[in-house]
């Protein structure tokens, strides 16, 4: 792929500031999705964790994905036992890698719900994509998911030759809570002396702050709701004193020297403000950033077979390709 973000025609915009903005309405195909009965938010005051997991899995059923050369299920020894991974390849020879962490509020999701973005990124970039089935809360609260994802990066670095991965071209990435895990792992990698090629942050969770403009403006009615984010934080980080720990909270940290970043945000996503603020914070610390804003997009669209999802995945793939070239 030789296109660059500056020349590729899109329905999104390059976001140069942290000012939150949105279109007048969401995309038509996303409106159709939100009108489906199974897309309505649950009552988080009464539902069980299993209720939410079942709804999430039903809304992320595997769909048509582009072909890749091979898909292999494997595992490595993590801090809490074996951690399953799914490895997508476009070649049997040496390739750059994307270490992918699925979304789901640190509580939901698995290798299957993360299949569409992981397999598409493999197909579009030629990278070997390693999707990580990290432990979930509330069974394993903070910092369990971070510990597994950080261990996954160390495993990829240590086993790069066996995995046919170029250790100089490893990118971490994820969507939503997975974006949080990618960003915090990237920050820890800097401190551990691991040089990453990039960090791919798709509408990442950045901080526990429900007063930000996007929470105020679109915290209800567009899929992800404020009540759900409060529920996720309570499940993953029940101890309030941990919510400023750099393994989960990113604003206010020293970000200098972290890997170049791609940050995608959506206008009708409660997490938009914090993603835009994080892009600005990275720039202020001298980190190269490409921030893409989809003003009529919603949270979760990157993992959907919708127009904005296609555009978002394409933009991310172009950035990865350009960054690794």
Give tens-digit pLDDT for 247-276: 999 999 999 999 999 999 999 999 999 999
Whether residue 33 lies inside any domain: the answer is yes
262 beta partners: 200, 290
Whether residue 3 lies inside any domain: the answer is no
Helices (H), 114-242: 115-125, 144-158, 160-163, 177-192, 213-218, 226-236
Asked if residues 18 and 277 have their Cβ atoms less than 8 Å apart, the reply is: yes
pLDDT, tens digit (0-9, with 9 covering 90-100), for 73-106: 999 999 999 999 999 999 999 999 999 999 999 9
Whether residue 257 lies inside any domain: the answer is yes
Catalytic option among 273, 299, 308, 314: 299
213 C-beta neighbours (distance < 10 Å), count: 17
| CATH number of the domain to which 279 belongs | 3.40.50.1820
Counting the structural domains of the chain, the total is 1
148 is catalytic: no
Distance CA 325, CA 313 (A): 18
Whether residue 119 lies inside any domain: the answer is yes
Look up the domain containing 246 and give its range. 13-324
pLDDT, tens digit (0-9, with 9 covering 90-100), for 11-69: 455 566 678 999 999 999 999 999 998 999 999 999 999 999 999 999 998 778 999 99
Whether residue 1 lies inside any domain: the answer is no
Whether residue 314 lies inside any domain: the answer is yes
Q: How far is CA 86 from CA 82, 94, 265, in A?
A: 13, 17, 26
What angle, rounded to 10 degrees, do the helices at 144-158 and 177-192 form? 60
Distance CA 242, CA 65 (A): 38
Closest CA to 185 of 169, 201, 163: 201
285 is catalytic: no
Whether residue 48 lies inside any domain: the answer is yes
Triad 121, 124, 126: Cα angle to 5°: 90
293 is catalytic: no
- Residue 10: is its pLDDT beyond 70? no
- Residue 1: is its pLDDT beyond 70? no
- Residue 6: is its pLDDT beyond 50? no
Helix (H, G, I), strand (E, B) or coil at 165: strand
pTM: 0.95
Asked if residues 135 and 109 have their Cβ atoms less than 8 Å apart, the reply is: no
Catalytic option among 27, 147, 175, 269: 269
Whether residue 157 lies inside any domain: the answer is yes
Asked if residues 198 and 259 have their Cβ atoms less than 8 Å apart, the reply is: yes
Range 238-246 average pLDDT: 97
| Pairing outcome for strands 165-175 and 198-202 | parallel
Catalytic option among 176, 214, 273, 296: 176
């Amino acid at each position: 792929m030789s296109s660059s973000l500056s020349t590729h025609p899109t329905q999104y915009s390059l976001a140069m500031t942290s000012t939150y903005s949105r279109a007048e309405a969401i995309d038509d195909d996303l409106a159709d999705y939100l009108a489906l009965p199974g897309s309505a938010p649950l009552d988080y005051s009464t539902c069980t964790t299993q209720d939410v997991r079942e709804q999430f899995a039903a809304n992320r059923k595997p769909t048509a994905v582009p072909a890749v050369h091979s898909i292999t299920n494997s595992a490595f020894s993590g801090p809490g036992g074996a951690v399953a991974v799914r490895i997508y390849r476009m070649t049997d020879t040496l390739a750059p890698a994307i270490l992918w962490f699925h979304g789901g509020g640190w509580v939901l999701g698995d290798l299957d719900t993360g299949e569409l973005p992981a397999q598409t990124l493999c197909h579009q970039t030629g990278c070997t994509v390693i999707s990580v089935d990290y432990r979930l809360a509330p069974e394993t609260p903070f910092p369990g998911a971070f510990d597994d994802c950080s261990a996954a990066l160390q495993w990829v670095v240590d086993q790069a030759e066996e995995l046919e991965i170029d250790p100089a071209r490893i990118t971490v990435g994820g969507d939503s809570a997975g974006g949080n895990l990618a960003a915090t792992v990237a920050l820890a990698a800097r401190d551990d002396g691991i040089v990453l090629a990039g960090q791919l942050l798709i509408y990442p969770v950045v901080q526990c702050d429900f007063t930000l403009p996007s929470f105020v403006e679109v915290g209800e009615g567009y899929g992800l709701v404020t009540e759900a984010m409060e529920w996720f934080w309570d499940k993953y980080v029940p101890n309030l004193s941990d919510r400023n720990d750099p393994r989960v909270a990113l604003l206010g940290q020293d970000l200098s020297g972290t890997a170049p970043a791609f940050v995608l945000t959506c206008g009708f996503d409660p997490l938009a403000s914090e993603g835009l603020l994080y892009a600005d914070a990275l720039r202020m610390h001298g980190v190269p950033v490409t921030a893409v804003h989809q003003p009529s997009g919603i949270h979760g669209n990157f993992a959907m077979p919708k127009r904005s999802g296609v555009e978002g995945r394409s933009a991310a793939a172009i950035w990865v390709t350009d960054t690794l070239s």
